[in-house]
Amino acid sequence: MEYSQFIEVRRQLHQIPELGFEEYKTQEYLLNFIKNLPQQYLQITTWKTGVFVKVIGYNPSKVVGYRADIDGLPMKEETNLSFESKHEGRMHGCGHDFHMSIALGILSHFASFQPKETLLFIFQPAEEGPGGAQPMLESTYLKENRPNMMVALHIAPEYPVGTVATRKGLLFANTSELFIDLLGRGGHAAYPHTANDMVLAASHFVTQLQSIVARNIDPLDSAVVTIGKITGGTKQNIIAERARVEGTIRTLSMDSMEKIKARILALAHGIEVGFECKLSIDFGANYCQVYNDEKMTEPFMNFVKNRANCNLIECKEAMTGEDFGYFLREIPGFMFWLGVDSENGLHSNYLNPNEEAIPFAIELLIDYLKSL
């Protein structure tokens, strides 16, 4: 089989990015592709906008799960590629089009050549939010068809094609969204004493949030509180009655995550008192850490290390968030970074990964799954 054909599959998927639990065209594409494969060993089941495909092994001792996430991001593509997104304000800016095309390549091989072990391909929606892994794990299908191990990859723009980077133990951080609404009293800019300015309150609050990691978290631990968006006010001469702050929290330990959330609540109370306003806080989607099982990760790393034309890097932990962590919390397995050599990083409007990583990854994972 010529695995370079899956570059075109990626380009087709790249044009139809959809947000979490709205991946209707994506699911349709996946189902049409899978139904055109030999069906002798396949069992296809849908779940919301996701897809399960079981490949029955000829002498199975376990079920190996392989997960690919399928959603895109709410961002405008700026790549000017001939196959750029056809969905305005939507882009596969995190490489899930790569993840899907690689999974389809692996599946295509084993649909024609029956594997020894039973394989379960999981095309998971909503990784970018609100989170599809946890509800998928709670589905009737996965309760009745639970894999014995799980494998997944994520593209890595900073590594060249041919590179696999991973580590035993903690790979990705715990993450939490952060949404804060401030409500005060609006008024005329000429009479500030009659109003409670929520632009001013939000500005003070953002500054205070940046003290948490510096003064409340063990310096030998690692944590990040990032505010990525502030909105407030309607006109330059109207004191803002409302403001909204949006951000993210990332930690390498659950203890630090709990400390940061508690500190945010305490600081919020201080803002309420000091600015005579009301704050509401929503921690949104929370993803647990991605923790690679040592007994499964080490053999995979050795497999890669001994493979020609493949470079293994034992990488450090990253503050990246990934809801694959929910799978690994219940099922042992691992995730790894796949080098795609892009000048622009993940979640960039200009992300343009090297497509030669697709056939490389397909061949690598077919041989790895055969080795189990």
Catalytic residues: 69, 128
Find, among 45, 59, 20, 58, the residue nearest to 121 by Cα. 45
Which of 228, 292, 310, 224 is CA-nearest to residue 260?
Answer: 224
Q: Which residues lie below 8 Å from residue 214, measured CB to CB, with a gap of 6+?
A: none
Count CB-CB contacts under 10 A for residue 321.
Answer: 26
H or E element, residue 249: strand 242-251
Q: Whole-angstrom Cα distance, residue 311 to residue 217?
A: 36
Give the whole-angstrom CA distance, residue 95 versus residue 157: 9
Query: Read out DSSP for 148-177?
Result: SEEEEEEEETTS-TTEEEE-SEEEE-EEEE
Contact 351, 344 (CB under 8 A): yes
Which residue in the block uniquely carries the two structure tokens 């929290």?
Answer: 249
